[in-house]
Amino acid sequence: MYKILYNKTMKVGVYCNRAAKKFLLIENDLLSLLRQNGIEPQIYDSVEQIGVIDILIVLGGDGTILKVAIEAGKRGIKLLGINAGNLGFLTEFEGEQVSEAVALLVRGDFDTERRSVLQVNAEGKTFFALNDAVFQRSYNPSADDNVVAVSVSIDGNEVDKFVGDGVIVSTPTGSTAYSLSAGGSILTPNIEAFILTPVCAHSLHNRPIVFADSSLMRIELCEEGPSLSLYCDGRFECVLKDGASARIAKADFDVEFIKRHDSNFFNKLLFKLNKWSK
């Protein structure tokens, strides 16, 4: 955690997910409270609109934050999330806590938390993910079977060959997302590690593997069969075919979230997962 002070020269933007369920109920309150406190925000409806700002208030859910996180991280913009969606694991405030969020900003006394980012090089391109990079079998209706075999190495050392639906490479942030559903461990945000989680592996010994985020991972499609689709934070990026490989490492930038001083990861974990599983 890093403590910083807000000052009046900081430029604030608001990124809105107008499709979020609770959006209309809290948008006017948020903008009104900001203006009452001398903050005239820039309002954005798309990532491409985001201008030169210091803090971006994200009004939506986890999906909305994932849309803007990489661009914000690259440009050093701090994120403050207000949940107007469903789970809101990455948001710091719930929709009914708008006044608390604005008060925290106006007081200028808050912490920030840096979250690591994955960099994936595949098919001659570079992709980034705050949550996870998912290498998933591509369905082929003409194939006799649709399991895929991938070989994984870390720092040049063979880890294993995974046969199944694919693998997930997750950051600590993404450890509570798809990786968790696939049986992966939960990592606290401050751990300098990533996690490799097989998806429906055809083996009794394949287990999630936690490894240092300073390592270099290589994932290679082993043999002829289904191609491998790459998704970063749920976005389709490219297809790997016939022996193609991908390189995964920690990006040279991170994503910085604004937090309350008493923000507690384990309290949020219990609340959100219990709420989501009802």
- List CB contacts of 136: < 8 A, sequence separation 6 or more: 165, 166, 199, 228, 229, 230, 231
Is 262 one of the annotated active-site residues of the chain? no
Beta strand residue intervals within the chain, DSSP E: 2-4, 12-16, 42-44, 55-60, 78-83, 93-94, 110-115, 118-122, 125-129, 132-137, 148-154, 157-164, 166-170, 193-199, 209-212, 217-221, 228-232, 235-240, 245-250, 255-259
Q: How far is CA 56 from the centre of its chain?
A: 16
Overall residue count recorded for the chain in this entry: 278
Catalytically annotated residue among 62, 160, 165, 213: 62
Both tokens of 183, joined, read 């049986």
Bridge partners (DSSP) of residue 211 are 194
The token pair that represents 115 in the structure block: 């979250």
CA 272, 182, 112 angle in degrees (round to 5)?
45
Active site amino acids: 62
